[in-house]
Amino acid sequence: MVGANEKEFCYLPALILADMIRKKKVSPVEVTEKFIDRINKVNPSINAFVTLVPEMAKEAAKKAESAIMKKEKLGPLHGIPVGIKDVTLTKGIRTTFASLLYKDYIPDQDAIPVERLKNAGAIILGKTNTPEFAAGASTFNKVAGITRNPWNTDFNSGGSSGGSAAALASGMLPLATGNDLGGSLRIPASFCAVVGFRTSPGRVPGWPNELNWDQLNMEGPMARTIGDIALMLEVMAGPDDRCPISLPVPKDGLDYQKAVRNPSIKNFRVAWSDNLGLTRVDTEVLKIARSSMKVFEKLGCKVEEDAPDFGRIKETALTLRGQRYVALYQDQLDKNPEFRKLVNPLIIGNIEEGLKLSIRDVARADRERSDFWNRVKVFFDKYDLLVTPTVPIPPFTAETLFPKEINGLPMENYVDWGMLTYAMTMTGLPAISIPCGWTEKGLPVGIQIVGRRYMESTVLKAAAAYEKASPWINRKPPLEA
């Protein structure tokens, strides 16, 4: 039976819960009910969930419990509750894309990551909030409203996977999904003191997808611990012909849990950069993030201040962003009279900026990204890891659409404050955000750890070593529930 302290139970790592379920110390039905109760108590003040499916979840939990009693083979996530970001298709569960255009849409198929989580035994509890079409790093929309930060509900949870991050931080879930174009797994992870992992393009197949060859927007895992990220990634990763960019299983397999057991990063060559030469960084955030280098040094790493030459990567990213928005939404903008009336003006602006691009602009961006990779490749011949602050600012107030200044100085445009993560997206390298400290106001700060091409195991090993040396899991938001 579940212990009396419900709140503490809901903060147990998925690895521990899975072991308890296998050993019949707790049943999938009990676990599911505890998390549903937690959601009912906490979600009204945070608004992390858009759609909750308690009856569907309880029915799945009963089947999971029956499988245990019949001694059937159990998946690695058997009986573990999971939340799915509301832009990822879920069969029979409302998927709104955070847009009034789709507020009643119920898909008839699961996306590949959902399919794999369910096949591994996970119990889907519902859909987590996101900005409209996952566009932006502040979670608000006209369907469900604002998702608030569990550490202080006056502040935003970040985005675009803000609902997943807030649900994890507040003990509503042990695992959740997100996706990431310019930082949508990493930014909310930093704002909410959880972990978000953007893996190499194709490591986690994305399908259905209107842009099957897209290597910029990636699905990925979110959790509170590195062990849980490794567990979840083993389930989500692997090839699938429906996704043409999906990667084959590496020669050393997908045993990411092995990488995080007793991790050692002694003699790793680590490059630290305050800002990648791309943006200003809030003074307090920088001080907290830089202090993480002392942890890496104590772990035996050789730390230097260095970064690749990012050149015009900001302009390149914005050009490819504009191209992407045109590809995804131009037809709807032209043909659906409701689109311009109902959709967030920021999205309309992205489409219109994209329509201003010439073929020369797009070709130049493609060439510049190629030249940029050549510089990044040379840089990582020298280093095992690159570490930066994840976000150059602390969480901002909940009603703020996006910050307009850093250290009192105005930004050039609304994506400037996300360039530390967006720039890493342009490299195609695996990048994870982990907690590294708290501001004087008690708001989380994260660091971003970037590894070499396809080296998810190395990134996880470094994150696990840091977690062990400077644990964050015992610190919880000051929620009353």
223-258 tens-digit pLDDT: 999 999 999 999 999 999 999 999 999 877 889 999
Residue of 34, 85, 118, 461 with catalytic role: 85
Q: Decide if 85 is catalytic.
A: yes
Catalytic residue at 160? yes
Three-state secondary structure call for residue 298: helix
Q: 275: exposed, middle or buried (C-beta count within 10 Å: 0-12, 13-18, 19+)?
A: middle
pLDDT for res 79? 98
Which residues in 19-47 are b (16+ Cβ under 10 Å) and which e? ebbeeeebbbbbbbbbbbebbebbbeebb
Q: Are 450 and 385 in contact (CB under 8 A)?
A: yes
pTM score above 0.95: yes
Annotation: CATH topology of 6-264+431-469:
Amidase signature (AS) enzymes (3.90.1300)
Provide the pLDDT for residue 95.
Answer: 98
Query: At 481, is the pLDDT very low, low, confident or very high (cuts 50, 70, 90)?
Result: low
Q: How confident is the model at residue 413 (pLDDT cuts 50, 70, 90)?
A: confident
Residue 1 has pLDDT above 60, yes or no: no
pLDDT of 98 strictly over 60: yes
- Give the least confident one: 40-54, 178-192, 402-416: 402-416
How does strand 444-451 pair with strand 431-438? antiparallel
Q: Tell me the mean pLDDT in the region 274-296.
A: 97
Q: Give domain limits for the chain.
A: 6-264+431-469, 309-370
Q: Which of 273, 304, 220, 311 shows the shortest CA–CA distance to 392? A: 273
Considering 27, 99, 157, 160, which one is annotated as catalytic? 160
- For 328-372, write each residue's pLDDT tens digit: 999 999 999 999 999 999 999 999 999 999 999 999 999 999 999
As a whole-number percent, the residues of the chain with pLDDT over 70 amount to 99
Output the average pLDDT for the chain. 96
Average pLDDT over residues 395-404: 91
User: Helices 162-169 & 28-46, crossing angle to 10 degrees?
Assistant: 110
Residue-wise over 105-123: b if at least 16 C-beta within 10 A, else e?
A: eebeebbbbbbbbbebbbb
> What is the reported pLDDT for 2?
46
Q: From CA 110, how far away is CA 101, in angstroms rounded?
A: 20
Is there a catalytic annotation at residue 66? no
Per-residue pLDDT of 123-173, as tens digits, reads 999 999 999 999 999 999 999 999 999 999 999 999 999 999 999 999 999
pLDDT at 4 (0 to 100) = 45
- Report the percent of the chain where pLDDT is more than 90: 92
Question: Does the pLDDT value for residue 408 go beyond 70?
Answer: yes
Among candidate residues 170, 184, 200, 470, the one labeled active-site is: 184
